[in-house]
Amino acid sequence: MALDFTRKPQRARDRQVAPRTAGFKTTMPRKRKTKEEVREKTKIARRKRYEHIKSNAVLYALEKEKKRQKYTRQKEQYSVQ
């Protein structure tokens, strides 16, 4: 394969090259959520999660057992002190 010297070399602007900012945001970052917004979102997610657990008998039984064990652990921990 011989080199072709008859063609003009491509200019940088003519090439299909991604801009320097490719893959990076060029806009301002989104505003952070306030503590109240985050709490509200977690509260809604918790409600939805427990609603799903309560609708399934097996998951509900497991959740009750977990809560019972947590209660007994805490009771033992604070009664020792």
pLDDT 10s digits, 28-52: 777 889 999 999 999 999 999 999 9
Helices (H), 1-81: 35-55, 57-80
Mean pLDDT, residues 4-33: 66
Domain for residue 73, yes or no?
Answer: yes
| Cα-only R_g, the chain | 30
- Greater pLDDT, 59 or 16: 59
Helix (H, G, I), strand (E, B) or coil at 10: coil
**Domain ranges, residue 44:** 35-80
Other Cβ atoms less than 10 A from the Cβ of 76: the count is: 9
What pLDDT score was predicted for residue 62? 96
Domain for residue 28, yes or no?
Answer: no
Other Cβ atoms less than 10 A from the Cβ of 59: the count is: 13
Name residue 55's amino acid: S
Domain for residue 18, yes or no?
Answer: no
Q: Which residues contact 52 (CB under 8 A, 6 or more apart)?
A: 59
Domain for residue 1, yes or no?
Answer: no
Mean pLDDT, residues 6-23: 62
Domain for residue 8, yes or no?
Answer: no
What pLDDT score was predicted for residue 78? 87
Domain for residue 65, yes or no?
Answer: yes
